[in-house]
Chains A and B, each alone.
Chain A
Amino acid sequence: MGQIKYQLPPEEILSPGHFACPGCGGTLTMRYVLKALGRKTVVVIPACCWSVIDGPVPYSAAGVPVFHTAFEAAASTASGIKAGLEMQGDHETTVVAIAGDGGTFDIGFQALSGAAERNEDFIYVCYDNEAYMNTGIQRSSATPFGAWTTTTPTDSPKAEKKKDIVQVLAAHHIPYLATASVAYPDDMIAKIQKAKEIRGLRFVHVFSPCPPGWKFEPEDSIKISRMAIESRVFPLLEIYDGNDYRLTHEPAGSPVRDYLKMQGRFRHLKEADIDVIQKNVDEEWEGLKGKLAYSMKVHKSNNSVRSQDKEVSLAKAQSRKGIKRNVR
């Protein structure tokens, strides 16, 4: 207990004094993303909690340049910044869009899909807190089945499943896609660092707990994140080129009930509802296992990270773009 077993890049680029709530997953996401990418980074933020967290004019907590853009324009604005930097001879600076689930799954999806199809050269990080938290906890298409939000009250909680953004993005054949959790910072930082070395559109989906929105105590943020991963609600994956799946952490398979019971947003659920959710999680896990097995067979590799990952992905990205790019 209490022992940190991993080494993180020591430099803190994100300053204290930001405007986040205690226990905010989105803030830890930014902290780890910046640790992984370093200072030669430009951040694009659409409307989301981070529009507030970074601080009001003239303050900025991020420690790197931040461009605030319109709600639905994270991916398109990032595309333009990268193109502009390249045209001025800057091939080094990493451009990263950091958006919430609303700006990614819903209103910003068209721009993201367009950028993914064009394989634009930037990293897109979605910190997914499963609802419109900045506006006061309204349902988004990332809100899970059965959850309470202010627009899905307890007598009619969300009746639809969460949109499977990972599969949707995988279908765009982007060179690198990963899921990550603030409870596993070493895994997350390794993925962001790997993403940094790949060219093309890289998408990192971060499970990002929200104490006021999910109704739990801030000190339980990491614990809840861990339970989401261990219960297979949110598996930690990598997908190369949209078809080569890797599991980066083998989940324990703990009961989904334990995860749900910790959060006020699921308090109204009946045992039968919880059984339905467990069944959904089991089915999706089986589906994922199938994809992992298929990847192992087709790509003749094991689940450990390949040393050739970068090169393979780059070659594919280049051939798809039809342009020979300078790889640094």
Chain B
Amino acid sequence: MKFKTFAAFVGPSIFLMLLFIAAPLVSVFLQSFYVTQPVFETVEVETCTPGFPTQTCVTELKTQPILGEDGKVVTEVRYVGLESYRNVLEPDRAWAALSALDFNTLLTIDFWKALRFTLTFTLVTLPLVVGVGLAIAVAVNNASRLIRGPIIFVSLLPFIITPVIGALSIRWLFIGDGIMTAFLEWWLSRDIAMFAQGWTIELLMMFYRVWHVAPFAFVVFYAGLQTVNQDTLESAIIDGASRWERLRYVVIPHLMPLIVFISLIHLMDSYRVFEEIVGFSSQAHRISLQWLTYDFLTPDDSGNRSISRASASAMLTMIGIVILLVPLLRKTWRDHKGGRV
């Protein structure tokens, strides 16, 4: 294919990605070093109230935004260097807390709180997703052909459901004295309020994520199981391998590339955890890195968005993504090289 034809085919897609992905990235990077603020002026204002025998007049200095000719507030863009990053990271407080080994204080700073939750969430759900997905795949592979279709249908439901709605549907089971809370209270015979403290919400969020992603892992593993070499399995039986040993030494090595694939996808996706925070309304107890940026971007009570702080936190989030991507990129690069030779 000539370069010109190739460019004509790929051009529109590249254009869109450059305009809406690459350009915003650059602009976020630049924004994080600048702040846009209204320009303030200090004026002397004399206010008088009626009094006897003369008016009582007070002169005071007032700070007010300058209005431009069109009646809008004049804003200026100022270079602040790393100040936005400092506002997000609060390095002094964080360092003081760290050196005193006082993690509770460290976790009162939004960014570190979000980082702690995001990492725990990602690392805890990862093995669960792979394990549950694999277990379902093996069990379905074991089941009779007649019921596989309906089982796959039911399994796809948690995967396909809108994430916010999925999180809500689980929340509604537990909210107040919902049936699941009532059941747990009856079972453990103690009073339970699932949404009163952080760790129970965190558990529910992790449960939701595993429920939501396990079907994806299941479908992929199930497809992989269909290609397991039956001869190898039979020879393993002849060699006297038990079921467990066959699973451990034949099936799992065969699925290893898929396990790596699922893990990488899951790492990338759960690092971006966001919808759970909205669905479970957990902002008061648990926040994630992406939610932090979202929160800076949402207008506050006076309608201002803290764009520069959002950009700084976005850039900090990116660092994590880059670390996650390095192994994946190295693998792809090696495959590409291998493919050439």
A binds B: no
Which residues of A are at the interface with B, using a C-beta cutoff of 8 A?
none
Q: Which residues of B contact A (CB under 8 A)?
A: none
